[in-house]
Amino acid sequence: TPGGGPRIKEEKIVVTVRLRPLSKKEQVVKDQVAWECIDDQTIVYKPPSQERSITPMSHTYDKVFGPSSITETVYEEGVKNVALSALMGINATIFAYGQTSSGKTYTMRGITEKAVNDIYRHILDTPERDFTIRISGLEIYNENVRDLLNLDSGRNLKLLDDPEKGTMVEKLVEERAKDDKHLRNLISVCEAQRQVGETALNDTSSRSHQIIRLTIESSLRDNSGCVRSLVASLNLVDLAGSERASQTNTDGARLREGCHINLSLMTLTTVIRKLSVGKRSGHIPYRDSKLTRILQHSLGGNARTAIICTLSPALSHVEQSRNTLSFATRAK
Ligand code: ADP
Ligand code: MG
C-alpha cells in the first residue's frame, strides 16, 4: 500500500469459519457431509436427507472457508490484517477454536508459517526501520504453564503482575530470532515439544493450549536524531478442543465421562463474548484463568483479534459443530 505500511481494517474481532474436508477415516465409516458454504460469508446445515422444502438455517461470519480452501487463502482473506497490525505496534491474537480433530493445529501451523513469511517480507520492504523479533512458546495444561523453549523450567511456571508489561510468565525464555530461518527453527522446537507431551500423556493436545508469542520491536531514527520505537506481540494460539468449553451439550446432556471442562477455555469464551458486546458488558473476567491473564493485553482494548472456528463437516459431529458456530456467532 502507498505509505509503506500494511493496510489495517478497523474491526477489533474478526470471526471466520473454516470447514475442513471429510477425512479418510470419516469416509471409511461412510460418515456424510452435513454442512455447505454457500458463499464466502455463509455456511448452512445441509444433511444429506434434508428435504428440499425446508430452507436450511444459514449462519454468516466475516468470512467462511469451504473444504477446498487452502490455508494461504484463510491467511490472506481472514487473518493477515490482524497479524500485520503487530508490525505497527498493535497487539494481536489469532486463535483457532473448534472440537478436537476439526483442524485447529493444521490451520494454526499454516497460519504461523504465512505470518512469518509476511513479517520478514515487511522487514525487507521497510529498510528505514530496525526490527527485533523475539519468540516465546508456552503450553497451558490443567492451568499449569510450561515453557516450550525450556522444558527444564518445570511444568508449573508462576504468573507475575508487572505494572507496565501486564502479566508475565516467570522465567519464560524469550529468544531473539537472528533471521527468519532461526525463527522457523524455534517455532518447530515449540511444536515438537508439544508433540512430545502428546504421546506421553495420550491426548494432551485436546486438553492443552499452546501460545506462540512473537514480540516485534522496531525503531526509526527521525531527522532530528530522535529514536521512535514500536513494540507489540502477535499471539498465535492453538486452543484445547472446544468440547471442553462447557459442561453441557446444547441438548443439555452431560458430556461423556472424562471430558472435564477446561477453565481457561471457558473463561476465554466468556471474555470474547463480553468483548463483542462492547462497553455495556461490564466486568471482563480476564483474571479468572491463566490463558486469559496471559493474553489480557492482546485481547480487547486496542488489541486486535482474529478467530478461526474450525469445523468438521461430518454428520456425526453436528452437535459439536453447532456449538462451535454458536460460539462464533456470539463472538461477533
Ligand atoms: P485439531 O488440532 O483441531 O485436533 P488437526 O489439525 O490435528 O485437528 O486435524 C485433524 C486431521 O485433519 C489432521 O490429520 C489434519 O491433517 C486434517 N485436516 C485438518 N484440517 C484440514 C484441511 N483444511 N484440509 C485437509 N486436511 C485437514
Ligand atoms: Mg490439535
- In the predicted structure, residue 131 carries a pLDDT above the cut 90: yes
User: Which of 24, 70, 101 for mutating ligand 1's site (highest number of atoms within 8 Å of CB)?
Assistant: 101
Ligand 1, atom 23: nearest CA belongs to which residue? 20
Q: Does 180 fall in a domain?
A: yes
Average pLDDT, the chain: 89
Cα–Cα distance between 315 and 47 in angstroms, integer? 7
Whole domain around residue 80: which residue ranges?
13-331
Rounded Cα gap, residues 278 and 22, in angstroms:
37
CA of 112 to the centre of ligand 2 (A): 14
271 lies in some domain: yes
Higher local confidence (pLDDT), 196 or 104: 104
Whole-number pLDDT of residue 12 = 86
Atom of ligand 1 nearest to the CA of 102: 3
Complex ipTM > 0.95: yes
Of the listed ligands, the closest to the CA of 209 is: 2
Q: Which atom of ligand 1 is nearest to the CA of 69?
A: 23
Q: Which of 16, 106, 310, 312 to mutate to test the pocket of ligand 1 (most atoms within 8 A of CB)?
A: 106
Q: Assess if residue 181 is contained within a domain.
A: yes
55 is a domain residue: yes
Q: Would you state the cell numbers that stand for residue 33, as one nine-digit string?
A: 457431509
Nearest CA to 111 out of 18, 248, 231 is that of: 18
In-domain check, residue 2: no
Of 280 and 42, more confident: 42
Instruction: For residue 98, give the nearest of 273, 326, 332 by alpha carbon.
Output: 326
Number of folded domains that form the chain: 1
Question: In ligand 1, which atom is closest to the CA atom of 106?
Answer: 6
pLDDT in tens, 160-172: 998 888 899 999 9
Atom of ligand 1 nearest to the CA of 100: 4
Distance, CA 279 to ligand 2 centroid (Å)? 33
CB 240 within 8 Å of CB 322: no
Q: Is the pLDDT of residue 53 over 70?
A: no
Q: Is residue 57 part of a domain?
A: yes
Ligand 1 atom at shortest distance from the alpha carbon of 310: 3
Residue 253 has pLDDT above 70, yes or no: no
Q: 107 CA distance to ligand 1 centroid (A)?
A: 7
Percent of the chain exceeding pLDDT 70 equals: 88
CATH number at residue 244: 3.40.850.10
Decide if pLDDT at 174 tops 50.
yes
Burial class (CB in 10 A: 0-12, 13-18, 19+), 67: middle
Cell readout for 81 is 490484517
Contact, 169 vs 133, CB < 8 A?
no
C-alpha to C-alpha distance for 253 and 77, rounded to whole angstroms? 37
**Predicted local distance difference test score (pLDDT) of residue 245:** 78
Ligand 1 site residues, Cβ closer than 6 angstroms: 20-21, 23, 98, 100-106, 310
CA of 330 to the centre of ligand 2 (A): 23
Evaluate whether residue 6 is within a structural domain.
no
Which pLDDT score is estimated for 6? 46
Which ligand sits closest to the CA of 311? Answer: 1
Which pLDDT tens digit goes with each residue over 140-162?
A: 999 999 999 998 888 899 999 98
**Ligand 1 centroid from CA 102, angstroms:** 6
The answer on pLDDT for 8 being more than 80 is: no
Q: For ligand 1, atom 5, name the residue with the nearest CA.
A: 103
> For residue 53, with 0-12 CB atoms within 10 Å meaning exposed, 13-18 middle and 19 or more buried, which class applies?
exposed
Cα dihedral 270, 90, 232, 205 sign:
positive
Name the closest ligand to CA 204: 2
Are the C-beta atoms of residues 17 and 61 closer than 8 Å to each other?
yes
Is the residue at 1 inside a domain? no
Which has the higher per-residue pLDDT, 57 or 149?
A: 149
